[in-house]
């Protein structure tokens, strides 16, 4: 089996996909990250007996799943769905999106990341995430969280 794993990264524009991925590959956070159009691929070598490299595919032109070219999802070993806790429009359809994702990628358990936790605070974050407890979203801040270790471990556990 290939030791290179493809991970598709989904979520509304501006939810922090690029910021989070850059952080994962070791780039500093930029306040005014320019939106990217098209496909952007990030590569992260990992130290794991079963995996040599994670290749993240960020499709940046649109956010919602129904507007994604289906080919983009082909061959994915994992999927990450990122939403922005400070913008309800990025998570109002989350349950529908998760159902659609399950149909498109039936063998994959997606990882949901609730980004920009720094903008809403812990109490509000907990309250918001309670409504999505089935999806077990992980609160995160690409801006403030120093460590990517926890996130990376979550990602690795969904890839295997």
Ligand X SMILES: Nc1nc2c(ncn2[C@@H]2O[C@H](COP(=O)(O)OP(=O)(O)O)[C@@H](O)[C@H]2O)c(=O)[nH]1
Q: How far apart are CA 121 and CA 116, in angstroms?
A: 9
- Closer CB to ligand X, 73 or 84, in the complex: 84
73 in Cβ contact with 33 (< 8 Å) = no
- Closer CB to Mg ion, 10 or 78, in the complex: 10
Question: Pick from Mg ion, ligand X, none: which does 13 bind, CB < 5 to 8 A by kind?
Answer: ligand X
Secondary structure letter of residue 67 according to DSSP: G
CB of 38 to ligand X, least distance (A): 12
List of residues contacting ligand X (CB under 6 A): 11, 13-19, 30-33, 35, 115-116, 118-119, 141-143
Q: How far apart are CA 64 and CA 10, in angstroms?
A: 8
Q: Is 36 in the site for Mg ion (CB under 5 A)?
A: yes
CB of 60 to ligand X, least distance (A): 6
Q: What are the residue ranges of helices labelled H in the chain?
A: 17-24, 94-104, 117-120, 122-130, 149-159
- Closer CB to ligand X, 17 or 77, in the complex: 17
Long-range contacts from 29-35, C-beta under 8 angstroms, 24+ separation = 29/142, 29/143, 35/60
- Candidates 12, 15, 18, 115: give the one binding Mg ion (CB under 5 A): 18
- Closer CB to ligand X, 30 or 50, in the complex: 30
């Amino acid at each position: 089996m290939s030791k290179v794993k493809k991970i598709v990264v989904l979520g509304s524009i501006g939810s922090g996909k690029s910021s989070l991925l850059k952080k994962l590959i070791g780039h500093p956070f930029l306040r005014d990250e320019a939106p990217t159009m098209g496909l952007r691929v990030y590569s992260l070598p990992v130290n794991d007996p079963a995996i040599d490299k994670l290749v993240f595919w960020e499709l940046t032109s649109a956010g919602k799943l129904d507007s994604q070219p289906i080919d983009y999802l082909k061959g994915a070993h994992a999927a990450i769905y990122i939403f922005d806790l400070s913008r309800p429009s990025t998570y109002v359809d989350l349950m529908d999106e998760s159902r659609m994702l399950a149909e498109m990628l039936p063998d994959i358990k997606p990882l949901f990341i609730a980004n920009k936790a720094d903008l809403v605070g812990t109490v509000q974050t907990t309250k918001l995430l309670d409504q999505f407890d089935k999806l077990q979203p992980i609160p995160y801040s690409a801006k403030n969280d120093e460590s990517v270790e926890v996130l990376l471990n979550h990602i690795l556990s969904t890839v295997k």
